[in-house]
C-alpha cells in the first residue's frame, strides 16, 4: 500500500514540474513578443525603421533580418 502512495506522489510531482516548465516558457514568449510590439510602436512614433527594431529581437537564422542587414548601407 505504501509503495502505491509513493508512486502516485512522484507522478504528481513530476506532472507539476513539467506543467510549470511549459507555463514558464509560454509566459516568457508572450512577454517577449509584447515587449517587441511595444518597442516597435515607440520606434514608429519616433520615426525609426520598425524592421530594425524587430531584427534586434531576431536570431541569426531569421532570413528577413539577414536580407535586411545585407541591403542596409551604413
Q: Are the CB atoms for 31 and 38 separated by under 8 Å?
A: no
What is the C-alpha separation between 22 and 74, in angstroms, rounded?
41
Output 36 or 14, whichever has higher pLDDT. 14
C-alpha cell at 43: 520606434
Give percent of the chain with pLDDT exceeding 70: 95
What is the C-alpha separation between 55 and 73, in angstroms, rounded?
16
Q: How confident is the model over 5-25, as a mean pLDDT?
A: 96
pLDDT in tens, 22-49: 999 999 999 988 998 898 899 889 988 8
**3-state SS string over 37-68?**
HHHHHHHHHHCCCHHHHHHCCCCCCCHHHHHH
- Record the pTM: 0.64
Amino acid at each position: 500500500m505504501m509503495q502505491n502512495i509513493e508512486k502516485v506522489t512522484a507522478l504528481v510531482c513530476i506532472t507539476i514540474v513539467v506543467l510549470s516548465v511549459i507555463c514558464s516558457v509560454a509566459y516568457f514568449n508572450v512577454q517577449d513578443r509584447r515587449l517587441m510590439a511595444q518597442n516597435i510602436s515607440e520606434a514608429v512614433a519616433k520615426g525609426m525603421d520598425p524592421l530594425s527594431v524587430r531584427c534586434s529581437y531576431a536570431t541569426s537564422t531569421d532570413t528577413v533580418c539577414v536580407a535586411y542587414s545585407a541591403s542596409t548601407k551604413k
